[in-house]
Structure 1
Amino acid sequence: MLSEAVKGLNRLRNSAILSLAASLFSLPLTAFSPFRGLGTATEDVVALFAVLIWVLVFGLLLLALMLAAWVLKVLGWWSMCKSGMRRFYCVTRYAVLLGPIIGVSLLLVGGVALVFEALSRGVLANDELGEMQEGTVLLYVLPGLLVMTIASVIEGVSALDVGLLTGVKSLTLGAVTYLIASLLQPLQLPTAALGSKELASGVASGLNWASSAASLLASLLFAVGFHRAKGRVIQSEAQREAVGAA
């Protein structure tokens, strides 16, 4: 019978594989950019329908992959908590479970509040939403981003701890890369809201590229690292059983 630690590491490995698949699967959306031709597509019903189908199919598949990866991640850290290896893993399971839920909820509430403020100021009518966003969007969006960032940092620290405990370098490196990606994500919006529009746009684009690349690399290293960590734990448990039997 598999121990809770082995179950947890197996689920975390599968979660990383799905996250990697989601990252790779999203590349066609970026490469082909169906939205580039949306302006001309609106004049052609068939072309518009094709664009909408493209976005719908890829969007649903990405959503399914991301949800499956998140569920496996929650279950994985739940098992790691039950394994008794570290009490901190019990904190991690709640961070992984509640962080995205609370963060996305705050982002939705912030977005609705931003629209209402724009309507109350008449910004939408004057077509000056972009100018208003530079000064006020951080107030509405940062809380949600910070919650998700904190949850990601907690998860990254736990993964780093697992890598150090099991002596798996790929998992340790993946955790460090994941922490870097987690810290880069909330920096994109403040950068875009400060300074000149041209410079801020360039810096934000660079941060977005760096964060995406780091996330992709972290998922790959996590998939390899958690697999190797599972093997180390199985080997360690087998040795303990052999010593106990002797």
Structure 2
Amino acid sequence: MWDKITYAAWFIIGTIFGSFANVLIYRPIAGLKLTEPRFSVCPTCRRRIEWYDNIPLISFIILKGKCRHCGTKISPRYPLVEFVFGLSFLINHILFPIDVALCLDAVFLVSIPAVFTDFKLMLLPDYTWITILIVGIYTNVTYFRQFMILDIIGGLISLSVLLFLRMRYKDGIGEGDLFLLPVYSFAVGFMFMPFLMLSASIGGIIYSTVRRNKVIPFGPFIIFFGYSLFFLRLFTSFRIV
């Protein structure tokens, strides 16, 4: 019984962080500062959204997906992001010890907004790679210390590849990618690093082919496969143990 209550609590906490992630997604794309305005407002009527209209998932259902004041439809992205965060937090805390689950929660929190901003603005926030680096250092020191030198080498190899490509194709690799891929390569480990580079590259190529766009936002593919492989590394490690 207590376990079910705990897991329900983590789902709720996840939706709350999902609501915060929506702020990290919306404001940079809308050209707003993360700290201004201080409160959530309707993008149409600019009226302040009160706390009771800002409860993750529940408020969207009660308001039937519309602003209370002007009736403008609320994007379904908001409850979807909140639900995905709740589900992610729930899975993490079911499968892993509390410290590992919190590490995955932190990586997920900073990664999802970066996917949206890179697709929309071709911009990767610094807080994304910094958080992943901190988490990677913690998990390596705590659980994978015997592989740490190899993991550092893996990160340096991926950095070297990107630097070479950037020298060869000046506009082909963004500055954000130069930080994001190496830290994710370090976090996923030396053994998974080649799979990260290969899968992210294939994902970018497929996206470019389908969209017929020469400019590829590489970050979302690094993030998707990076988080998946980081999760897989931790999952296989704890299941073997």
Give the TM-score, by structure 2 length. Answer: 0.29
From the CA coordinates, give the structure whose radius of gyration is larger.
1
Greater fraction of residues in helix: 1
Give the TM-score, by structure 1 length. Answer: 0.29
